[in-house]
Amino acid sequence: MSESKMEDPGGPQSEADVIKVILLGDSAVGKSKLIERYLMDDYNPRQDSTYALTLFRKNVELDDGTSAKVDFWDTAGQERFNSMHPSYYYQAHICILVFDVTRKQTYKQLSEWYRELREYCPEIPCILVANKIDVDYQVTKKNFKFASQHNLPFFFVSAADGTNVVKIFDEAIREGVQYKINGKTDFVTECLELFDDSPLTAANSGDSDGKDGHK
Amino acid sequence: MSDSYGTLLSSHLPSVHGPKSESEDPLAIDDPLSSARNSSEGAGDDSWKKFYSANELLNEIKIDLSRLYINSVPPTYFHSSPDRVESIQNILFLSCTLLHPSISYRQGMHELCGLVYYAISEDPSGFPPQHVEAAVWNVFDAVLSTVVSLYDPRTVEQLTEQQERINAKNRVRPKTRPVHTCELIFARLKVIDRPLHDRISSFIPPQLFLLKWLRLLCVREFHVSDSIHIFDNIISSLPSPPPRDTLTNLAYKPLPLVISNLGLALVLEVRDTVMSSDENGLLEALMRYQYPAGGNGRVEGGQYKRVGRQGIDGLFERAEAIGKGNIGGTSTTRQPASTLPVVASSSSSSSSSSLSSSSTTTTTTATTATTTNADGDNGVMNILSKTSSSIMTSMTTIASKVEESKPTWLMGKGGGGSDPFGVEDEGDERDEEDAFVGGGGGTGGGSDATGIFGLSSSPPQPAAPLDHPPPAREDATQSPPSPVETGKAKPKSNTKATLDFLTGGLDSERSTKPRADVFGAFDDDE
């Protein structure tokens, strides 16, 4: 246990066999609710706002029969303004990006969230989730371009009635495990190829003007 | 009277009618439709900009207030009473606008404010309802100032724009104040209990649990009546009068020792569990904290057992001992907390009164709730002495009363058979997989009748209405226009300067950053 660990903004090393799932999205889109629904399979109509980092752990059985510890990291939706604690992103394996179909603003903010995610975790897989479809199922007929634009797997969910919740977490864990084992998954590689054509790549590499001097 | 809380409120809350014009000509307001305005940014008056950002702030606060719950307080306490929620919303709005615009509203503040509101308004002696809001404003101010460094998103050192640009380019994220604060506390643990420190730090970073506990002063970890005792202990240990610039000063300030000590005491409380259990147990102990350790703090279903005033006082005693390096918590040399003069500083007379202190000191003031004597005799009085003395007299009154009648005012409320976690059955099919998987088919319908995701980017909904100007507060007439009010008068008169100063700095970046088109944001970097 070296002292220098605390100096590392990334935070301490966690156990090697933990899959870290992080959730991102604006305030009140239902991040905590989704976790609660998944972990407890229960929906409590009341939900305090999340005001600090929170961590849930679950032992999950994987497809290959082995089991893994999965940590779900949850935080205040407002934390984007807080330059979220680097430890939040540190060694994450998969991100679930959430917006609320009843509030357009939360959709518009996705690009900000996504940009921040990619700043810290350029490669991890990310799943886009549209929550609160129970309010109006018609919304599922709409086309949300953000997903296709960034080549993100996209799901409609409802933490309130449970629609798709287990599915997206299962999916997330699967992606996370794969990323952990293989580094870049095929899916991510695919994404990155797509990015080659997008302005994001230019922004990410940041060396188009040569000042950074690294590739 | 002009400096009263009510006036503050009416002059700062955004009106449904749009920005307030300081000139008499309504057209002098920056007209969003005026063509003269379109091209030049920053030209002229920015009333509309302020108006919209004020409403944005209000909406942000409302989102959280709509889900404000405090341990052991029946959910209906807030949620079947729009007036209460509106009061809290007003207080938060003013606080964020006037006192700490550079921090603005942060999630968690609403719970601190909610707890203070509950403590004051639920006083069985009947705190004059028309004064509650103003009193809460004052107390909340004091409470928030103690933990403000845990909410402050800025970096520890103020960075120049140039430094920020360099950092951004190199992907360097300097530590923010909340993280730094937690690390400072945790560093003290290293001195106090090295093995414990090392064990924890090998699994989780300290901000993960310290922020969780301390941002809310443990409101989520304790029963509401215990939380009130905790607030008392903290407020009454502050220097008196408290530094008024805590909220407006831009420099980093570490947490008051009393809170830092509390954090350490809570960690040490679960030492055995942390040292003896595996990682899961360690996480459980810290992230689902129970006091006292051993698991009988929290009952299933989210109900909290009361620790009681002595229990909380004991906790603070241990915290103080720990702070002095007396880890075993052997406080043989100390007096029991109840007889301890809790306010360290200048107050010459007894200062043991606090939100819930023993009732012996202030039975006289109890009968004079709205009069203006009892000037600064008590802890709370000193803490809040900048404000209307009539209000503060009432404060001490309720403070003293709270303890006296706690059994009725708290236990009656907290107990109730109602299970706040009572879950309506939500249908049995929890996992209707495949119902809507994958993109939802249709490609059409970018904009539709509901317009939820139509293309037009409408401006933020103006004024989810405060559809009336706040009523002139009665307290205005009762507050003596005495010098003691200058504490609040000051922020007002300096508001503009303060705001300009602050918004000219870091804040402006955030508040004025244009909401990019949904996908346009990435273009910035080209």
On whether any CB of chain A is under 8 Å from the CB of B450, the answer is: yes
pLDDT tens-digit readout, A31-84: 999 999 999 876 776 778 888 888 888 989 888 888 889 999 998 887 765 656
Q: Write out chain A residues lying below 8 Å of B431, CB-based.
A: 162, 165-167
- CA closest to B220 among chain A residues: A48
User: What span, in angstroms and rounded, lies between the C-alpha atoms of B312 and A158?
Assistant: 41
Q: Write out chain B residues lying below 8 Å of A141, CB-based.
A: 440-442, 445
Specify the residue for token string 């037009």.
Answer: B456
- CA closest to B195 among chain A residues: A1
B284-288 contact pairs (CB < 8 A, 24+): B286/B200, B286/B204, B286/B208, B286/B209, B287/A54, B287/A55, B287/B208, B287/B209, B287/B212
- Buried-state track B446-463, b at ≥16 Cβ within 10 A, e below 16: eeeeeebbeeeeeeeeeb
Structure tokens, A15: 């156990």
Give mean pLDDT, residues B320-327: 84
> Sheet harboring A18-24: ordered strands across?
A54-61, A67-74, A18-24, A94-100, A126-131, A154-156
| Residue type (1 letter), B370 | T
Domain boundaries, chain A: 4-8+16-201
Query: Other C-beta atoms within 10 Å of B37: how many?
Result: 16
Q: Please, are residues B13 and B28 in contact by the beta-carbon 8 Å criterion? A: no
Structure tokens, B375: 């000037």
**Cβ separation A155–B436 shorter than 8 A:** yes
Nearest-CA distance A182 → chain B (Å): 24
Q: Does domain A4-8+16-201 have CATH number 3.40.50.300?
A: yes
Q: pLDDT > 70: what percent of chain B?
A: 53
Q: Write out chain B residues lying below 8 Å of A55, CB-based.
A: 204, 208, 283, 287
Residue among B211, B220, B510 minimizing CB distance to A53: B211
The pLDDT score that the predictor gives to residue B193 is 95
Select, from the ranges A45-59, B304-318, B333-347, B441-455, the one with the highest average predicted confidence (pLDDT).
B304-318
Residue among A42, A111, A141 minimizing CB distance to B521: A111
Q: Please, are residues B343 and B263 in contact by the beta-carbon 8 Å criterion? A: no
Residue B364 has pLDDT above 60, yes or no: no
pLDDT class for B433, splitting at 50, 70, 90?
very low
More confident residue, B105 or B1: B105
More confident residue, B486 or B313: B313
Q: Please, are residues B516 and B31 in contact by the beta-carbon 8 Å criterion? A: no
Looking only at the bridges linking them, the beta strands covering A154-156 and A67-74 are unpaired
Preferred mutation among B55, B59, B60, B64 to probe A, highest tally of A CBs within 10 A: B64
Q: Write out chain B residues lying below 8 Å of A142, CB-based.
A: 440, 442, 445-446, 448, 452-453
User: ∠A107-A135-B57 over CA atoms, to 5°?
Assistant: 45
Residue B87 has pLDDT above 90, yes or no: yes
User: ∠B45-B51-B54 over CA atoms, to 5°?
Assistant: 135
The alpha carbon of B242 is separated from its chain's Cα centroid by a whole number of angstroms, namely 17
pLDDT tens-digit readout, B117-173: 999 998 777 889 888 999 999 899 889 989 988 998 888 887 788 888 888 777 777
pLDDT tens-digit readout, A86-140: 778 888 999 999 999 999 999 999 999 999 899 889 999 999 999 999 999 999 9
Q: Phi, psi (5° rounding) for residue B364? A: -70, -45
Nearest 10 degrees: CA dihedral of B196, B200, B206, B210?
-70
Nearest-CA distance B94 → chain A (Å): 19
- ipTM rounded to 2 decimals: 0.76
The pLDDT score that the predictor gives to residue B85 is 95
pLDDT class for A179, splitting at 50, 70, 90?
very high
The pLDDT score that the predictor gives to residue A16 is 62
pLDDT class for B288, splitting at 50, 70, 90?
confident
Residue A17 in 3-state DSSP? Answer: coil
* Maximum distance among all Cα pairs of chain B, rounded to whole angstroms: 77
**Cβ separation A203–B524 shorter than 8 A:** yes
- CA closest to B205 among chain A residues: A11
**Cβ separation A9–B215 shorter than 8 A:** no
pLDDT class for B494, splitting at 50, 70, 90?
very low
Query: Other C-beta atoms within 10 Å of B313: how many?
Result: 20
Asked which of A167-176, B224-233, B340-349 is least confident by mean pLDDT, the reply is: B340-349
Residues 235-294 of B with CB under 8 A from A: 279-280, 283, 287
The pLDDT score that the predictor gives to residue A187 is 56
Give mean pLDDT, residues A185-193: 52
A70 DSSP β-pair partners: A19, A58
**Cβ separation B436–A5 shorter than 8 A:** no
Q: Write out chain B residues lying below 8 Å of A201, CB-based.
A: none
Q: Write out chain A residues lying below 8 Å of B522, CB-based.
A: 111, 115, 198-200, 203
pLDDT class for B79, splitting at 50, 70, 90?
very high
Residue A178 has pLDDT above 50, yes or no: yes
Question: CA–CA distance from B124 to each of B80, B132, B274, B401, B421 (Å)?
Answer: 20, 13, 41, 7, 27
More confident residue, B250 or A125: A125
A95 DSSP β-pair partners: A22, A126
Q: Is B418 left (phi over 0), alpha (psi -120 to 50) or beta?
A: beta
More confident residue, B304 or B278: B278
The rounded mean pLDDT for chain B is 66
Q: Please, are residues B55 and B467 in contact by the beta-carbon 8 Å criterion? A: no
Select, from the ranges B36-40, B198-202, B358-362, the one with the highest average predicted confidence (pLDDT).
B198-202
Residue among A85, A140, A146 minimizing CB distance to B518: A146
Residue among A54, A112, A160 minimizing CB distance to B212: A54
Residue B240 has pLDDT above 80, yes or no: no
On whether any CB of chain A is under 8 Å from the CB of B156, the answer is: no
Give mean pLDDT, residues B499-504: 29
Q: Phi, psi (5° rounding) for residue B82? A: -55, -30
Nearest 10 degrees: CA dihedral of B105, B108, B112, B117?
70
Q: Write out chain A residues lying below 8 Å of B519, CB-based.
A: 111, 145-146, 149
Nearest 10 degrees: CA dihedral of B285, B288, B294, B300?
-150
Asked which of A33-42, A166-175, B422-431 is least confident by mean pLDDT, the reply is: B422-431
Preferred mutation among A34, A43, A78 to probe B, highest tally of B CBs within 10 A: A78
Residue among A41, A53, A143 minimizing CB distance to B207: A53
On whether any CB of chain A is under 8 Å from the CB of B178, the answer is: yes
Cβ-in-10-Å burial (0-12, 13-18, 19+) of B389 comes to: buried
User: What span, in angstroms and rounded, lies between the C-alpha atoms of B154 and B146?
Assistant: 17
A137: enclosing H helix or E strand: none
**Cβ separation B215–A133 shorter than 8 A:** no
Residues 29-58 of B with CB under 8 A from A: none
Give mean pLDDT, residues A10-16: 46
User: What span, in angstroms and rounded, lies between the C-alpha atoms of B14 and B469?
Assistant: 9
Q: Write out chain B residues lying below 8 Å of A36, CB-based.
A: none
More confident residue, A208 or B98: B98
Residue A9 has pLDDT above 80, yes or no: no
The pLDDT score that the predictor gives to residue A87 is 78
Q: If you count DSSP H runs as helices and E runs as strands, how many of each does chain B have, helices first?
A: 24, 0
How many Cβ pairs closer than 8 A exist between chain A and B? 219
Query: Other C-beta atoms within 10 Å of B20: how many?
Result: 15
Specify the residue for token string 């580094």.
Answer: A183
Q: Is B30 left (phi over 0), alpha (psi -120 to 50) or beta?
A: beta
Spatial CA neighbour of B205 closest among A56, A75, A91, A6: A6
Asked which of A72-76, A143-147, A148-152, A200-204 is least confident by mean pLDDT, the reply is: A200-204
Spatial CA neighbour of B135 closest among B364, B405, B413, B381: B381
Nearest-CA distance B78 → chain A (Å): 13
The alpha carbon of B52 is separated from its chain's Cα centroid by a whole number of angstroms, namely 23
Q: Please, are residues A177 and A62 in contact by the beta-carbon 8 Å criterion? A: yes
On whether any CB of chain A is under 8 Å from the CB of B171, the answer is: yes
Question: CA–CA distance from B239 to each of B112, B184, B235, B339, B347 (Å)?
Answer: 20, 21, 9, 18, 9
Q: Please, are residues A70 and A21 in contact by the beta-carbon 8 Å criterion? A: yes
Residue B199 has pLDDT above 60, yes or no: yes
**Cβ separation A85–B204 shorter than 8 A:** no
A129 DSSP β-pair partners: A98, A155
The pLDDT score that the predictor gives to residue B66 is 93
Nearest-CA distance B293 → chain A (Å): 20
User: ∠B258-B264-B270 over CA atoms, to 5°?
Assistant: 140
Residue among B68, B176, B446 minimizing CB distance to A143: B446
Question: CA–CA distance from B383 to each of B139, B346, B379 (Å)?
Answer: 8, 11, 6
Nearest-CA distance B517 → chain A (Å): 7
The pLDDT score that the predictor gives to residue B436 is 31
Residue B235 has pLDDT above 80, yes or no: yes
Structure tokens, B198: 């090392």
**Cβ separation A53–B423 shorter than 8 A:** no
Q: Write out chain B residues lying below 8 Å of A5, CB-based.
A: 201-202
The pLDDT score that the predictor gives to residue B522 is 28
Give mean pLDDT, residues A135-151: 93
Cβ-in-10-Å burial (0-12, 13-18, 19+) of B76 comes to: exposed
Q: B184: number of CA atoms within 13 Å, CB side?
A: 19
The pLDDT score that the predictor gives to residue B22 is 55
On whether any CB of chain A is under 8 Å from the CB of B60, the answer is: yes
Q: Please, are residues A85 and B207 in contact by the beta-carbon 8 Å criterion? A: yes
User: ∠B390-B391-B396 over CA atoms, to 5°?
Assistant: 100
Nearest-CA distance A211 → chain B (Å): 10
pLDDT class for B196, splitting at 50, 70, 90?
very high
The alpha carbon of B265 is separated from its chain's Cα centroid by a whole number of angstroms, namely 22
Residue A54 in 3-state DSSP? Answer: strand
Structure tokens, A32: 């905590």
